[in-house]
Amino acid sequence: DGRSNEPVALPAKFPITLLEGAEGIAVGLTTKILPHNFNDLCRASINHLQGKTFRIRPDFPSGGIADFSAYHDGERGAKVKVRAKIEQRSKHQFAITELPFGSTTLSLKASIEAAIAKGKLKVKRIEDMTSETVEILLELSSTADPDKFIDQLYVFTDCEVTLSPAACVIIDDKPNFMGVSEILRRSVDRTRALLGQELEIRIGELADQWHADSLERIFIEERIYRRIEAAKTWEAVLHEIREGLKPHLKTLRREVTDDDITRLTEIRIKRISAYNRFKADEAMKALEKELAQVKHDLAHLTDYTIAWFERLQEKFGKGHKRRTTSDEIEQISAASVVVANQKLHVQRAEGFIALNTRKDDFEYVQDVTPLDDVVAFLGDATVKMVKVAEKVFIGKDIQHLHVVPKDGDDRYYTVIYQDKETGKAFAKRFQLGGMTRDKVYNLAASEGSKLVFFDETKNVESMPKAVTIYLSGRCSARVKDFIFDLSELSIGARGNKGALVTQYPIRDVKRA
Letter for the amino acid at 367?
Answer: D
362 and 354 in contact (C-beta within 8 Å)?
yes
pLDDT digits (tens, 9 = 90+) for 186-214: 999 999 999 999 999 999 999 988 888 88
Give the pLDDT band (50/70/90) at residue 1: low
> Domain for residue 98, yes or no?
yes
pLDDT digits (tens, 9 = 90+) for 25-42: 888 888 999 999 999 999
The whole-number pLDDT of residue 335 equals 67
For the segment 290-319, the average pLDDT, to the nearest whole number, is 95
With helix as H, strand as E and coil as C, how does 55-114 read?
CCCECCCCCCEEECCCCHHHCCCCCEEEECEEEEEECCEEEEEECCCCCCHHHHHHHHHH
H or E element at residue 186? helix 180-221
Q: Which of 160, 190, 220 is the last residue of a domain?
A: 160
Q: Which of 124, 140, 160 is the last residue of a domain?
A: 160
- Beta strands 398-403 and 466-471, pairing class: unpaired
| 443 and 497 share one domain | yes
> Domain for residue 121, yes or no?
yes
| 420 and 507 share one domain | yes
* DSSP-based three-state secondary structure for 315: helix
Q: What CATH number is associated with residue 113? A: 3.30.1360.40
Least confident piece of the model among 66-80, 260-274, 328-342, 371-385: 328-342
| 345 and 387 share one domain | yes
Q: Which of 387, 405, 423 is the last residue of a domain?
A: 405
H or E element at residue 297? helix 277-299
In the predicted structure, residue 272 carries a pLDDT above the cut 80: no
Beta bridge mates, 179: none
> Domain for residue 416, yes or no?
yes
| 420 and 504 share one domain | yes
| 442 and 487 share one domain | yes
| 364 and 423 share one domain | no
The whole-number pLDDT of residue 165 equals 95
Backbone angles phi, psi at 24, to 5 degrees: -160, 155
pLDDT digits (tens, 9 = 90+) for 208-252: 888 888 888 887 777 877 777 777 888 888 887 888 888 888 888
- Provide the residue range defining the domain that includes 128: 87-160
| 141 and 101 share one domain | yes
H or E element at residue 316? helix 301-316
pTM recorded for the entire structure: 0.71
| 512 and 414 share one domain | yes
> Domain for residue 179, yes or no?
no
Domain count, the chain: 3
pLDDT digits (tens, 9 = 90+) for 350-367: 999 999 888 988 999 998
pLDDT digits (tens, 9 = 90+) for 122-155: 999 999 999 989 999 999 998 888 988 999 999 9
